[in-house]
Amino acid sequence: MADKPAAAPAPDDTAQRDKARFEDLLKTPAARSTGRVALASGAALDYAVSAEFLPVVLGGSEPGAGDPKAAVLTTAYTVAAATPRPVCFAFNGGPGSASIWLHLGALGPKRVVVPDDGSMPPAPYAVQDNPHTWLEHFDLVFIDPPHTGWSLAADADARKKLLSTDGDIACFSEVIRLWLTRHGRWGSPVYLCGESYGTTRGAGIANQLHELGVVVNGAILVSLAMDLQSIVFAPGNDLPYALFLPAFANTSQYHGLLQGPLAESPAAAREAAEAFVQEDYAAALLAGARLSDKTRSRVARRIAELTGLPRSLVEEKNLRISDQTYFFEALRHRGLIVGRLEARSTGPMAASRTRDWEFDPGIEAIAAPYTMAAMGYFRDTLGLALEQRYMVINGDVNRGWNWVRGGESEARRMGFTCTSTDLAQALRRNPHFKVLAASGRYDLGTPYSASDWSLAQLDAPATVLQRVTHRYYDAGHMMYTRQADLVQLKADLAAWLAA
């Protein structure tokens, strides 16, 4: 007779194991290393690296409020100097993503090199020196949120609190405050760099830190996602249909789907789409069923021209082309899916040509190379030899995220998450705070055109908005994977800092 399967561990046993693992992380000694990187300018930097788990204690008067709620991994690169150097705290998004993309893609002294065209390189994978590291301008601290990387919440209650928009902002703000205190860096100018949901987080942190007495000099927001209404296709929300269209046109031009003047250049396609949205399309969406047959026909024809999609499909979709429709229909005739985070990338459809979203070709091309290179670097160079899985992307975190802000009242449960109000307030509160936004024109997760809209809606006077700069790049969500954009991003950063 076959043996009976082992019983699943009791919930109490699982909780005890998780608690023990959490406590072990806090006892883990900091991993330290040193390195030297040659810069593109010809100079060289000697740096120290320290990777440590910080205990996150959140404020409050409830019982146990003084106990750590999370063990958060920070990886810091510092350069010895006679006076305090600026320090930049960097993080990615998701929610549910570790910070290796910015860490080993653009900012750190080591990076993973992948093909410029967004395709997947063959193994093996390893980090290389990054002559365009931002270490030239700041000391760098990379933060992995709870339940990404090796970071962990203390228990189920802490996890529930931390895996939320407001809880996450509070957690990161405390990590930054604690790091400044432990390392004696209260005399350093402070900067933030967030990517994707990291911009949602970063906008909130910029304002929250002000409450903690930490002045933020500037924020670099890569692939902007402060206003979820601008990028989430949902019933009754027509905004993304208008804001994505210029990015669709740009992508269609790249893949050879356009004709006539629209096909001449990406700029021609973008500018035509932007004009159409402003002059016709937004009004057509607002009109809905009140649109005349003649106007509906004209709008459908123009959308088809700008995207390369069949006019019949545009009409079938009621003039509304969602991201999912575009991914599966734009290159269906070639049997290809268009990438979301890197729209220059494509992947083969199943033989049955289904419309099931099984993977994003834009992230598949770099996820494994980054993961394998990072694991080798963490273990062999930094000395982080933990055997638990490093969660590069934790889907459970994303699926379980609490997007509600400011409490649980009925009124606050309505609508889309927004932190652009936080950023506008931070800009108004601190006359020296400035923002650099960076957008990839082939990003169909957070399109450049949606970012344009979001920045234009900031609730601040024109004199304040002069401190906001927006720059564009000819790649996707992680535009720095393309060498030319890596170089340009660094140059734009230097110019922004000097301004």
- DSSP states of 8-53 as a string? PPPHHHHHHHHHHHHHHHHHSPPEEEEEEEE-TTS-EEEEEEEEEE
Q: Is 166 helix (H, G, I), strand (E, B) or coil?
A: helix
Please give the structure tokens belonging to residue 134. 């931002």
DSSP-derived letter for residue 391 is B
pLDDT in the model for residue 2: 47
Q: What percent of the chain has pLDDT over 70?
A: 95
Q: Identify the pLDDT of residue 353.
A: 85
In the DSSP assignment, the letter for residue 148 is S
pLDDT score recorded for residue 61:
41
In 243-389, beta strands by DSSP E: 336-338, 346-348
Using the predicted structure, report yes or no on whether residue 411 has a pLDDT greater than 50.
no
**pLDDT tens by residue, 146-173:** 999 999 999 999 999 999 999 999 999 9
Would you call 477 helix, strand, or coil by DSSP?
coil
| Bridging pattern class, strands 216-222 and 190-195 | parallel
Average pLDDT, the chain: 93
b/e code 130-166 from CB counts within 10 Å (16+ = b): bbbbbbbbbbbbbbbbbbbbbbbbbbeebbebbbbbb
Beta strands in 374-443 (DSSP E): 434-440
Model pLDDT for residues 260-280, shown as the tens digit of each residue? 999 999 999 999 999 999 999
Give the pLDDT confidence of 373-410 residue by residue, as tens digits.
Answer: 999 999 999 999 898 999 999 999 999 999 988 865 54
Q: What confidence tier does 414 reach under pLDDT thresholds 50, 70, 90?
A: low
pLDDT tens by residue, 317-355: 999 999 999 999 999 999 999 999 999 999 999 988 888
pLDDT of residue 9: 57
pTM attached to this predicted model: 0.94
Q: How far apart are CA 43 and CA 430, in angstroms?
A: 34
Specify the pairing of strand 190-195 against strand 87-91. Answer: parallel
Q: What is the total residue count of the chain?
A: 499
**DSSP secondary structure code for residue 227 in this structure:** B
pLDDT by residue (tens digit) across 43-82? 999 999 999 999 999 875 455 568 899 999 999 999 999 9
